[in-house]
Amino acid sequence: MMFNNVDSIYTFTFASERKENCLACSRCSHDLAFFESDKLQVFLDKIGEETEFNLQKPTLTTISSSGENRTLYMSNLASMEEALRPNLEKTFKELEFESGQEVVVTDPGVKMPVHFKLHLT
């Protein structure tokens, strides 16, 4: 609405459209398939190649089957990156991943967390 302080008030309307898999406003999970023998680095490389995500310094977290929140990797803090770097060389099996488990990726370049559902074979 605009008020021009002369003789009228102007208002306009428009129909909003929403993209179902929008990173900014959608909380949908993106499905990815991996082998249990794949390393976490493979996952990081795969999401890094996707231009729609535009990830620069991702942080990877997940919720384990026991309900515990686990940080898998954090690249924006040097001390945490150094402490969690060994996880990149571990396989999904070593990290105790189950098929259907979600990895939540946050990044300074993306306003909302991005959810990935992993399908392991």
Residue pLDDT, tens place only, 21-52: 776 666 788 899 999 999 999 999 999 887 67
Q: On the CB side of 42, how many CA atoms lie within 13 Å of its CA?
A: 13
What pLDDT is recorded for position 4?
64
Measuring CA to CA, which residue among 41, 27, 49, 43 is closest to residue 113? Answer: 27
pLDDT of residue 90: 97
pTM of the model: 0.78
Please give the distance of CA 100 from its chain centroid, rounded to a whole number. Answer: 15
* Of 118 and 14, more confident: 118
Q: What is the pLDDT of residue 1?
A: 60
In the three-class reduction of DSSP (H, G, I as helix; E, B as strand; rest coil), residue 108 is classed as coil
Summarize pLDDT for 66-109 with one digit per residue, the tens.
889 999 999 999 999 999 999 999 999 999 999 999 999 999 88
Contact 101, 94 (CB under 8 A): no
Residue in 76, 40, 43 with CA at minimum distance from that of residue 59: 76
